C-alpha cells in the first residue's frame, strides 16, 4: 500500500513538473486625447457596446469594470441618456502555441546479417512542458458627446494571459484592463505605455 501511494505521488509530481508556468503580459495601453480635454472626467456618461456581429458573452463584466473606472474619474454613470457616451469594444482571441505539435513519435528498424537478424522499436516521448493556451484580450473605449461630434478621447488596452493564470478569469482580466486603460487619465495623446 505504501509503495502504491508513493508511486502515485511520484507520478503526480512528474506531471506537475511538466505543466507550463502561468503567463501574463504587461498591459499595453495607447490613448488619444481630442481637442477639448476640459470636457473629460465630469458630467454624466453612459456606457454602450459597439454594434457588430461578434458580441461577447462577457460584455457585462467589462461594462461594470469600465463604469467603475469612469465613476472614479468623476463621471456620474447612467444606464442611458448621459451627456457623453463611452463606446466599448471588446476583442478576444485564443492562441494555442502547441497546435501541430506531436508529443509521441515511434520508429522501427530491422536488420539481417551473417550473425543473425534483429528487430528494434523505439518510442520517443516529448516531455517538454506543454504551453497553455493563451487568451489575447483587447479593450477599446471611445468617449464622445452623445449629441454627436468628434471623439473627446480614445484608448485601447491589450494583454495576453495563459489559460492557467489568474487573468484567464474574465472578471480579473476586465478589472486589470480597465484600470490600466484609465490610469493617469487622460494620458499623453499618441503615447503607448506598458502597465504591470
- Domain limits of the chain? 33-97+135-187
pLDDT value, residue 9: 42
CATH: 1.10.10, 3.40.80, 3.40.1350, 3.40.50. Which one for 33-97+135-187? 3.40.50
pLDDT value, residue 99: 60
- Tell me the average pLDDT of the chain: 81
132-147: pLDDT as tens digits: 789 999 999 999 999 9
Average pLDDT over residues 84-106: 74
pLDDT value, residue 52: 54
pLDDT class of 43 with cuts at 50, 70, 90:
very high
pLDDT value, residue 11: 47
> Taken in order 137, 184, 88, 170, is the CA torsion positive or negative?
positive
Q: Residue holding cell 492562441?
A: 95
Please name the residues in contact with 21: beta carbons below 8 A apart, sequence gap of 6 or more. 129
- Alpha helices in the chain, H assignment, sequence order: 2-18, 59-73, 170-181
d(CA 15, CA 33) in angstroms, rounded, equals 50
* Residue % of the chain over a pLDDT of 70: 69
Task: Examine the pLDDT at 117 and tell me if it is beyond 90.
Answer: no
d(CA 180, CA 158) in angstroms, rounded, equals 9
pLDDT class of 58 with cuts at 50, 70, 90:
confident
d(CA 6, CA 145) in angstroms, rounded, equals 67
Nearest Cα to Cα of residue 43 among 140, 142, 145, 188:
145
pLDDT value, residue 8: 45
Average pLDDT over residues 116-126: 57
Average pLDDT over residues 95-100: 65
Amino acid at each position: 500500500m505504501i509503495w502504491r501511494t508513493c508511486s502515485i505521488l511520484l507520478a503526480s509530481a512528474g506531471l506537475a513538473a511538466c505543466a507550463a508556468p502561468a503567463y501574463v503580459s504587461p498591459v499595453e495601453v495607447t490613448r488619444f486625447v481630442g481637442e477639448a480635454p476640459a470636457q473629460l472626467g465630469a458630467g454624466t456618461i453612459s456606457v454602450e457596446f459597439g454594434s457588430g456581429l461578434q458580441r461577447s458573452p462577457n460584455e457585462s463584466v467589462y461594462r461594470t469594470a469600465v463604469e467603475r473606472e469612469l465613476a472614479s474619474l468623476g463621471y456620474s454613470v447612467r444606464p442611458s441618456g448621459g451627456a457623453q457616451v463611452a463606446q466599448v469594444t471588446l476583442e478576444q482571441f485564443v492562441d494555442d502555441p502547441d497546435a501541430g505539435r506531436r508529443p509521441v513519435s515511434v520508429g522501427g528498424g530491422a536488420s539481417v546479417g551473417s550473425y543473425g537478424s534483429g528487430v528494434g522499436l523505439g518510442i520517443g516521448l516529448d516531455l517538454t512542458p506543454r504551453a497553455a493556451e493563451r487568451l489575447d484580450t483587447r479593450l477599446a473605449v471611445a468617449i464622445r458627446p452623445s449629441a454627436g461630434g468628434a471623439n473627446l478621447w480614445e484608448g485601447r488596452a491589450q494583454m495576453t494571459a495563459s489559460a492557467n493564470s489568474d487573468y484567464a478569469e474574465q472578471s480579473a482580466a476586465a478589472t486589470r484592463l480597465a484600470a490600466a486603460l484609465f490610469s493617469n487619465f487622460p494620458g499623453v495623446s499618441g503615447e503607448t505605455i506598458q502597465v504591470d
